[in-house]
Structure 1
Amino acid sequence: MGEVMGGPGVSEDAMVVLRGWAGGGGPLAVRARVVLLAADGLRDAEISRRLGVSRQTVGTWRHRWQSAGLTGLEQRPRTGRPATVDEAEVVARALLAPGGSGASRAVARELGLSHATVAAIRRRWGLGAAGAVPTRPPLPGADVWVMGLYADGRRAVLLAGTRPVSAPPAAVATVIGEDVLTGLADGLEAVRTAAAPAAPPPAAPDLAAYLAEAAAHHPDIALHAITLWDTAPQPPSTARVTEHRLPANATWRSFLRAVIALDSTSHPESSRRVYLDLIAALGRGARPVRWLRESVAGHLRPPHRAEPPAPSSSGVNQIDLGSFNECVVIESVRLSGTITRGEIAHRTGLTQQSVSRIARSLLDRGVLVEESQRRATSGKPRTPVRLCGAAAHALGLHIDPEVLTAVVIDLDGAIVCTRTRPVSADIDPGEFVAQVVALGREALDRARGAVREDGFLGIGVAVPGPVDIASGTVLGPPLLSAWNDLPLLYLLKDHFPCPVIIEKDSLAAAAGERWIGRDRRARDFAYLYLGTGVGSGLYLNGDLYRGVSANAGEFGQLCAITLGRTGPDGRPEMVPECNPPVSVPEFAARRGLRTGAGSRTITGTGSTAAYRAVGRAAAAGDPAAVAAIRAVAEAVGRGALGLVDLLDIDLIVLGGPFFTDDTAGYYLDEIGRVVNEFPTARRLRRVEVERSVLSAEAAAVGAASTIFHATFTPRLRGRDRR
């Protein structure tokens, strides 16, 4: 065959080996030629024709090359059941394969096993049927959580948890990925091969202490210590933790991959973030490794069975939209306010017949209502339609370091009721969740008469970032240290049997701005949320931009870098200007502003009250107050300048609880000046800086709007959060 100069996915060293095999004889020559021709871009059918082999053969060797390289080509097909099968490797491959539970044949082909063998292994591990993880002795049930890992070079113990009560099987979700599984196995291998003292100790007090700590940390979960390897004497038994060995047909590496894949596939809260934390613990160099994940006891217990609040939170069947085009029609009506069917067809490109059919369906379900007829210059009068605000409602919850806010809004964005409750930043997490639940139930109870029984769509929750959206976990926002790694979403789901969406507060505010702003916000914009901290929410290309981890918009970091404020280690500092309720009173006090009551400075009244006092002073013309607000606004404007230059946008929206009437003019003027005087492309565009259409409850209203956004906004790539 002709000379092959390389191709995608084939290194030069591999090319040398492949050419050598291709020039020889036997099965290796055919396999090498398949890969070389594939590297030249030939399709399977053409390779099959040239080499005189079946397309199935071509597909088999291409797949083996992609999954195992040269080693995969050296493996020969095996007939019948092999003498030894690594069952854990079968499980891991099955869960990683596209389609999850439907990938048995692909796994069998890849590993050279029969389909019946793979199916039997899947049954034993509980993939798609009731089973048990086959350790020695077996784990009680296949619903397994990875709760911790201990490793000290001589031994490694994987800590698993099982549900204390039976539970319905979870829907199969996307696993964490091959890269994370490989990183975990490689990290543990580095621990295993690290140098250790020649003489092992007679006992393992560190492991015993770790197991006791784990039992105290997870008191409501059945814990199982699975020994991955052990070259030292066994530790004394721990009453609360049962001991297990690996299954006979599995290596520690494949078993680790399988159990983690099993966990992450069955439990959305076992996300990439959890296992990236474990990889970090393995890589820190500290020995022994003693990793425990956050407690998941709150959502392992049977769900709370209290009577559901009124209105019913079971969702709406008649508002369950059946097509992308229905969402397109609703979006057109929402942006216009009132619009005729002909205008909808003109704006959307849909046919008149399609628009009429969809409009009839939405009118029947109460999503749209008709207005009075318009006289036409020719033909019959036209009847415009609009959204029916009462057709759907949602509850929005905003969690702030100082106050909890709950609002119920209708489909038009009108607030039905609002409830607030002060909260302390150091409150116990259990009490905090109870207060959130109580406030949400109070708001729903107050809205009882206005909300249709079948028109409640769900609950949106706005929280300070960073947040792990996949597991619904608040990861320790800077001003809420007591809420570190709080699995808020799943704790709330125990109390509210309805759809619950968790979102960063700044992104939620941007969603509300887009939904309620209608045609005024039908373009790209950045929302600057002035709360207890300044955050940004981005609306780009017709949708919220959340980023890979749904944590886009960390505005404080951008401000610090723009202002050149970094610590000795190079880490961006927490810029005080990005916390207006604290920085504005402090700056005003430095300039001599006082409360007027003796010599007491403005900072003595608490951050929110002090901020509002400075705002009132600025509105009255006090130069110290005005200078303080302008200093903070100028710093925020520098961060906004970075957004304008990076994204090439021409609209900045300002809102949030500390964008008050007294201070709004200073923020608008100063930020508007910065983002228009300094951008690189300032000759090509004028950046508008506008007030938010939302009230001070912007994040709570935005949180409720995320429910409408997820239900009604047309998005071709689906409605998942990533």
Structure 2
Amino acid sequence: MNPPYRDASGLPEEDRRLLQYWVAEGGSRAVRAAVVLLAAQGLRNAEIARRLEVSRQTVGNWRQRFDASGVAGLRERPRPGRPSIIDEAEVITRTVLAPDGGGASRAVARELGYSHAAVAAIRRRWRVTPGNATVPAVPTRPPLPQAEVWVLGLYLDTHRALLLVGTRPAAPERHHGASPGASPGAEVIAAVDAAVEAALTVPPSPAPGERRGQDRLAGYLAEARRRHPGASLHAITLWDTGEGGPSSQRCARGGVVHHALPVRTTWRTFLRAMVGLDCTRHPESSHRVYLDLAAALTHYADRPGIARERQPVRWLREPIATHFAGASRAGGEQRRESWGGANQIDLGSFNECVVIEAVRLAGTITRGEISHRTGLTQQSVSRISRSLLHRGILVEDDRRQATSGKPRTPVRLRGDAGHALGIHVDPEVLTAVVVDLDGAIVRSRTEPVAQTASPDQLVDHIARLGRGVLSAAGGAVRPGGFLGIGVATPGPVDVASGTVLDPPLLSVWRDVPLLYMLKDRFRCPIVMEKDSSAAAIGERWIGRNRRARDFVYLYLGTGVGAGLFLGGDIHRGVSANAGEFGQLCAVALERVDADGRPEILPECNPPVSIPETAARLGMVLGPRAAHDPREAHRVVSAAAGAGDPVAEKAVRQVAGAIGRGALSLVDLLDIDLVVLGGPFFTDGVADLYTAEISRIVNDFPTARRLRRVDVERSVLSREAAAVGAASTIFHATFTPRLAGRPAPTRR
């Protein structure tokens, strides 16, 4: 039974006013005051606990203290080993960044020194759980909409800092936990923290000029609306000195909703919590996004005095495609293509992948040979084979006569059991191919790139090209057998966010969220890879047994890249940008620019370097070739293939520079196979490249007495990157992997 308690008329007016002030003020005394005020209205403990989202024990405790000591009993009391003030954002940050199993309320409470009940209440109020299964409710003032929230920008000068976020209505399919590797980690948050701290040490400029500050913030908000047209924008003031008028008025004039920080947080912990929530819920919010923010803040702190006031931090992230509901196409054109839907080739076990890999490598193989090669029992192989035959992934071949016993019936992969679309984005051309499981090209199409096109126009071009090739191949693609789309792009790329960063020969593609823009146009799995890595995957898949070992794929396109197949899988590196070959060549040749940075070697751009080298050696290319690099390369290649000594010398010079980089790879990785391919590894120059690079990687390595390095032509066609891009879908679907070796993200 609840203890007797005075009704509202029994509370002295002075106490009531003080308790109401504590509730409005927030902080640790707000809940205690609310308990007493609600109890004064005659509510029972259970109802008070439900309304305030605290335990009944907490309610009873504070009622007893008030009964015994009045208002003084609700004031702070020193408690050894436990903080008197709880920062809610600190609890949220610790929850979302906790490793698996470490985000339980009790674990967070022990680490931070808070009570378990307080931590649980905070997490309920923010709607944040370790698995991140629900949409958080951020209790700013006024609260942010209960919707998906992205951190979009930060404005900071010497008088104020505003965090810009975007929201959209929560979609059920987006309610997922963090992807492996999606969390920013303590080191990224620490980098942002340190950068903000450095920015805060910047002294105010002696003559800031109020109107100028208003113009800067207004221009920033206008740019944010242009860059993120489909987002509902909200600006949260982290701090504000009041110079030049309140931030709320400026936001209102800019069409942005203004919010103050939650009561029980500091700006620093709130920023950390928002970064953590963004990264753990949205894979596109990668390390790079927040390292870019840290770099912008550091640059601000490092500028000399007066320039700091003139150039505030105006950081905005790149557009996030149409994650926001309002970013639809003008005129209401349907953007999503329903190709694929659900694919029917859903492999049920690791052993099924092992069997398919054995069949793929062998081409044609009996069940007994599969058992011998894989170590699986014959019963397991027979059971798995029957299932794969029934689902149409394998097909039986002609019987073989055995030396004893009954004839053996081999199996092989059924080529038309699955298809994928491969798209290669090159600075000069777009290539799309539909490929089957045997690597056969069903349909292909190549179109030139409009050099002046905007990113959105280029993505529309890619989508039209892909749809056209898929439509042309429609009859050959089995229902349920379309597995997805692979996209190969020049590096560097941010695979976590699906963003093409700043390819050196395609400036218009800087910070383009290509993967998500394509996801907005196609309703099927999409994998994105660097072009050289995609070509290496295609080589491995289509090369079968000939490529069942470690190798380096040198991709000769508009630039030279390296794809590394090591330890039975593609080696992507920490940022998925392994194989940046040009700088390696420059280091090997001791070619650096004035700043000491490795040069971007002209030799590592074959369609330009070969004609230029031939012209410098005295070869006349003709008027058409003078204006068309591809035509110039074709002319020199044809001449080299016909035995022209000048053309041969030009090709050998370029091959020599590439060979020096290949030598470094051979010595570093201790490999014995280098594969050459790509659109500019043509018949006229192929033998010259192969001979020159083979000479270098076999004559000069340190361990040349221990190995012979094979330098071979690619088994792929000139569409190597596009075929490889399609093969990334097969590789992700069928290649057996143990835990700890994740497949590329398929979105």
> 1:259-302: CA deviations, max 9, x gaps?
11111111111111111111111111243222111122533236
Summarize the Cα distance change of 1:632–1:75 in structure 2 as closer, same or farther, 3 Å threshold: farther
SS at match of 2:674: strand
SS at match of 2:174: coil
Does 2:207 correspond to 1:207? no
Q: Distance in 2 between matches of 1:291 and 1:646?
A: 39
Q: Distance in 1 between matches of 2:206 and 2:459?
A: 51
Deviation at 1:142, TM superposition (A): 4.0
SS at match of 2:322: helix
**Cross-structure match for 1:314:** 341
**Cross-structure match for 1:24:** none
> 1:433-466: CA deviations, max 9, x gaps?
1110001101110111111111111000000000
Does 2:322 correspond to 1:298? yes
SS at match of 2:475: coil
Q: Which amino acid aligns with 2:276?
A: A
- Match for residue 640 of structure 1 among 657, 662, 679: 662
Contact 1:425 1:481 in 2 (8 A): no
Q: Within 5 A, what are the aligned runs for 1:363-512?
A: 363-512=389-538
Unpaired runs of 5+ in structure 1? 1-73
**Cross-structure match for 2:716:** 694
Q: Distance in 2 between matches of 1:219 and 1:164?
A: 15
Deviation at 1:544, TM superposition (A): 0.2
Deviation at 1:231, TM superposition (A): 1.9
- Match for residue 623 of structure 1 among 636, 639, 645: 645
Structure 1 vs Structure 2: percent identity of aligned residues? Answer: 64
Contact 1:123 1:129 in 2 (8 A): no
**Cross-structure match for 1:271:** 286
Q: Distance in 2 between matches of 1:298 and 1:488?
A: 11
Q: TM-score, normalised by structure 1?
A: 0.85
Q: Which amino acid aligns with 1:108?
A: A
- Match for residue 251 of structure 1 among 266, 275, 281: 266
Moved more, 239-248 or 390-399: 239-248
Q: Distance in 1 between matches of 2:472 and 2:116?
A: 58
SS at match of 1:157: strand
Q: Distance in 2 between matches of 1:414 and 1:126?
A: 51
Contact 1:344 1:355 in 2 (8 A): yes
Does 2:185 correspond to 1:177? yes
**Cross-structure match for 1:709:** 731
Unpaired runs of 5+ in structure 2? 1-77
Deviation at 1:426, TM superposition (A): 3.2
**Cross-structure match for 2:138:** 133
Does 2:254 correspond to 1:228? no
Q: Distance in 2 between matches of 1:452 and 1:245?
A: 56
Q: Which amino acid aligns with 2:714?
A: S
Q: Distance in 1 between matches of 2:641 and 2:359?
A: 40
Deviation at 1:357, TM superposition (A): 1.4
SS at match of 1:436: helix
Contact 2:527 2:744 in 1 (8 A): no
Moved more, 153-162 or 527-536: 153-162
Q: Which amino acid aligns with 1:194?
A: V
Q: Distance in 2 between matches of 1:343 and 1:167?
A: 47
Moved more, 222-231 or 281-290: 281-290
Q: Distance in 2 between matches of 1:256 and 1:230?
A: 15
Q: Which amino acid aligns with 1:337?
A: G
Contact 1:164 1:222 in 2 (8 A): no
Does 2:298 correspond to 1:283? yes
Contact 2:148 2:170 in 1 (8 A): no
**Cross-structure match for 1:4:** none
Q: Which amino acid aligns with 1:141?
A: Q
- Match for residue 159 of structure 1 among 157, 164, 173: 164
Deviation at 1:605, TM superposition (A): 3.8
Q: Distance in 2 between matches of 1:425 and 1:329?
A: 46
Q: Distance in 1 between matches of 2:417 and 2:490?
A: 30
Deviation at 1:721, TM superposition (A): 3.0
Deviation at 1:320, TM superposition (A): 1.2
**Cross-structure match for 1:110:** 111
Contact 1:309 1:445 in 2 (8 A): no
Q: Which amino acid aligns with 1:105?
A: R
**Cross-structure match for 2:671:** 649
Q: Distance in 2 between matches of 1:393 and 1:540?
A: 26
SS at match of 1:418: strand
SS at match of 2:496: coil
Contact 2:160 2:240 in 1 (8 A): yes
Moved more, 656-665 or 169-178: 169-178
**Cross-structure match for 1:7:** none
Q: Distance in 1 between matches of 2:80 and 2:97?
A: 23
Q: Distance in 1 between matches of 2:361 and 2:647?
A: 40
Q: Distance in 2 between matches of 1:116 and 1:142?
A: 26
Summarize the Cα distance change of 1:175–1:142 in structure 2 as closer, same or farther, 3 Å threshold: farther
Does 2:575 correspond to 1:567? no
- Match for residue 143 of structure 1 among 148, 156, 163: 148
Q: Which amino acid aligns with 1:298?
A: T
Deviation at 1:187, TM superposition (A): 1.2
**Cross-structure match for 1:58:** none
Deviation at 1:652, TM superposition (A): 0.4
Does 2:217 correspond to 1:193? no
Q: Which amino acid aligns with 1:294?
A: E
**Cross-structure match for 2:125:** 124
Contact 1:531 1:656 in 2 (8 A): yes
Deviation at 1:378, TM superposition (A): 2.1
Q: Which amino acid aligns with 2:626?
A: G
Q: Distance in 1 between matches of 2:473 and 2:210?
A: 66
Q: Distance in 2 between matches of 1:192 and 1:201?
A: 20
- Match for residue 275 of structure 2 among 241, 254, 260: 260
Contact 1:154 1:192 in 2 (8 A): no
Moved more, 168-177 or 666-675: 168-177
Moved more, 149-158 or 529-538: 149-158
Q: Within 5 A, what are the aligned runs for 1:510-521?
A: 510-521=536-547
Does 2:616 correspond to 1:590? yes
Deviation at 1:603, TM superposition (A): 4.4
**Cross-structure match for 1:49:** none
> 1:458-510: CA deviations, max 9, x gaps?
00000000000001000010010011100000000011111000000000000
Deviation at 1:344, TM superposition (A): 0.9
Q: Distance in 1 between matches of 2:723 and 2:629?
A: 23
> 1:360-380: CA deviations, max 9, x gaps?
111111111111222222222
Contact 1:425 1:479 in 2 (8 A): no
- Match for residue 334 of structure 1 among 340, 344, 360: 360
Deviation at 1:167, TM superposition (A): 6.5
Q: TM-score, normalised by structure 2?
A: 0.82
Deviation at 1:199, TM superposition (A): 8.0
Summarize the Cα distance change of 1:687–1:98 in structure 2 as closer, same or farther, 3 Å threshold: same
- Match for residue 349 of structure 2 among 323, 340, 350: 323
Summarize the Cα distance change of 1:164–1:217 in structure 2 as closer, same or farther, 3 Å threshold: farther
Moved more, 224-233 or 214-223: 214-223
Deviation at 1:568, TM superposition (A): 1.2
**Cross-structure match for 1:13:** none
Deviation at 1:632, TM superposition (A): 0.5
Q: Distance in 2 between matches of 1:115 and 1:557?
A: 54
- Match for residue 662 of structure 1 among 684, 695, 698: 684
Deviation at 1:77, TM superposition (A): 5.4
Q: Distance in 2 between matches of 1:283 and 1:425?
A: 34
Q: Distance in 2 between matches of 1:119 and 1:142?
A: 21
SS at match of 1:426: coil
> 1:560-594: CA deviations, max 9, x gaps?
11111101111111100000000111111111211
> 1:186-205: CA deviations, max 9, x gaps?
21122113333478765633
Q: Distance in 2 between matches of 1:488 and 1:299?
A: 13
Summarize the Cα distance change of 1:494–1:213 in structure 2 as closer, same or farther, 3 Å threshold: closer
Contact 1:370 1:383 in 2 (8 A): yes
